[in-house]
Amino acid sequence: MKTMNCTQLGGACEKEFQASTFEEIADLSKQHGMEMFEKKDQAHLEAMNKIQALMQKPEAMKDWFDSKQKEFDALPED
């Protein structure tokens, strides 16, 4: 298991997610993002806008995703 927080994954808080794979941790972060969207949390909405802007540029989004994958891979096991 490895741990990353919301901010490390492009979000706006220190909520921690634990998972065995980057895909699992990305899914947990996405679920959290949806919860914050429903609550209309302003800080998270701003973070989501930045990610959406990246998504308009597929190569930039791929680079961002790859960098987060590498960050996850480099983390020590909990």
Res 21: pLDDT: 97
Residue 2: per-residue pLDDT: 98
C-alpha span between 16 and 7 (Å, rounded) = 9
Give residue-wise pLDDT tens across range 52-68: 998 899 899 999 999 99
Distance of CA 13 to the CA centre of its chain: 11
pTM score? 0.91
Q: Low-confidence residues of the chain, pLDDT below 50?
A: none
**What is the domain partition of the chain in residue ranges?**
2-74
**Sequence-ordered list of residues with C-beta below 8 angstroms from that of 61, at least 6 positions apart, any chain:** 54, 55
Amino acid 69: pLDDT: 96
Report the C-alpha gap between 25 and 48 in whole angstroms: 17
Is 11:29 a contact under the CB 8 Å cutoff?
A: yes
